Structure 1
Amino acid sequence: MERPSRLLLVSELRVRNSAYDVSLSRSLLTWKRRTSSPVYHPFRPRFCVPSFPRRQASGVCRSVSVSEIISVREEEEENGCKDDGSWKKINEREGKDCRQAFTVLYVERCQQHRWRCAEVSFTCPEAALCQRWVTSIREQLAAITSRPKQLLVYINPYSGKQHGKHIYEQKVAPLFALAGVTTHVIVTEHANYARDHLRTEAELKKFDGVVCVGGDGMFSEIIHGLIWRSQIDGGVDPNCADESLLPSSLRIGIIPAGSTDCICFATVGSNDPVTSALHIIVGQSLHIN
């Protein structure tokens, strides 16, 4: 039986108006609602380390894999306090520093293989603890080397129902921005535009991967362009039948915007653009023949 990872942080934080025991390891972020007690002390320091809880009913105990955390951000409470008396006392003690909450955005699995972006906000008793949590989570995310930081994106505006550009701008680009992924976007002008651009003009060393927004034909263009370019950059003649082809070092992401999207159904099980974008963000990959 695999032993749980060592805990990096353990704190008593608040989710909405309830107290939670929150823990972070290198593999899991867990928050478990505390049982009620006769006297409620929301921020009493705790020195015991809770054991790893199993996933229970929603709202009581939740665990999220660190690898599926999209991002974390600090929040600011308006005027630095809530309306209830306890928060006013905390505000008087801490002064005007209002950066006492942080929000974690993470992958939530839904039915029919779909993923969506969910979030949970934690309120801390002091700004220093809040910043410690944010820093620790960001350090764990930065250590995941499979995540892309820079992507080359090709959009086919004519694929499917000609909604590719709209799908990317409305559903995908905001998620990439949340995750801190920078992109260079190219809207293709005609058939094989992406293939030819990859063969000759694209500065591939700047990117961690190539994303195509379109259908199966667009994916085929990207595959052929990258295979050709990999041979040229590696000194292999792609027209010689006796040469052994070199693999491309870049991964390919697909945002479905076509008529059938067979490749997306075969890889992630859905033709939902948000699902595909989240798979790309967390760095999941699948080898296909």
Structure 2
Amino acid sequence: MTEGVVDTMTSRSGPGYDRDDPSLSAIMSERRQLINLAYRLLGSLAEAEDVVQETYARWYAMSDREQEAIEAPGAWLRKVAGRICLDLLGSARARRESYVGEWIPEPVPDRTEWMKPEGDPADRVTLDESVNMAFLVVLESMTPAERVAFILHDVFRYSFPEVAEIVGRTPGACRQLASSARRRVREAETPATPSAQQAGIVRDFKLAWEAKDIDALIGLLDPGVTATADGGGLVSARLLPVHGGDLVAQAFADIARVAPDLAILERTVNGQPGLVAQQDGVTVAVFAFEVAGDRIKHIWAVRNPEKLRPWTAG
């Protein structure tokens, strides 16, 4: 589903079609906004791409007259994309119940490290606080309606009447949904740690991990730290989260022992300092961190190769 639809739209020819048509340019210029919206709503870049393809397919399935009757095509596209995401979120809960192991949102790299072969800038997610891994994980705890109302209103600044058109509820109900979601976010928030300090702590963790220095690892971890891995049943990964500084430190030391050829690189993961593990130049894992004060509180390790496409060339 992710292949071919936009290529067809942007390369077709025929009566009345003009590659330089300004109306086409206006429609296609919405692509990045739609990718950003759908990724935040779904936590999956692959699914976000599918949503955008489907949204454009619905636009181009209309007749010229139907398209011309739409006063604000960009708003129409965003509304359709939001509704598709809402439907997908409902079915995603059932799919994730049968997912092998833990499901972690798909990590995205910094724009300078984007390795997706087609390299379309319109597919790149804008990195800000609304895509850090801790925030996306909190979003996963929300109902589909809460998540959509909150993201549309608090992140993308839609009015509640606009949100109501997408969610299919009254503006007042959408206001309550967003308020409930906001409360969940506040309850999960940790005091912000400056980015430079986070980077230093992640770097120290990398060095201690490479040295298999369990004491140093424990010193960098919050006593209540949780490490969660996502292999999706496609590669080896712990099926349940690991809790506690001693156990998490031991788990990473074990990885260093069984995979001595693992290259650990410092990278930006969802806009924050993170690590990437490579074997023979191929990315095999991406690690996102939540740092509270001077300790690491959460580690998310994405191993599922289907979620690592933007990190691997070729």
TM-score (norm: length of structure 2):
0.26
Specify the structure having the higher radius of gyration (Cα): 1
TM-score (norm: length of structure 1):
0.28
Q: Could you say which structure has the greater relative contact order, defined with CA pairs below 8 angstroms and 6 or more residues apart?
A: 2
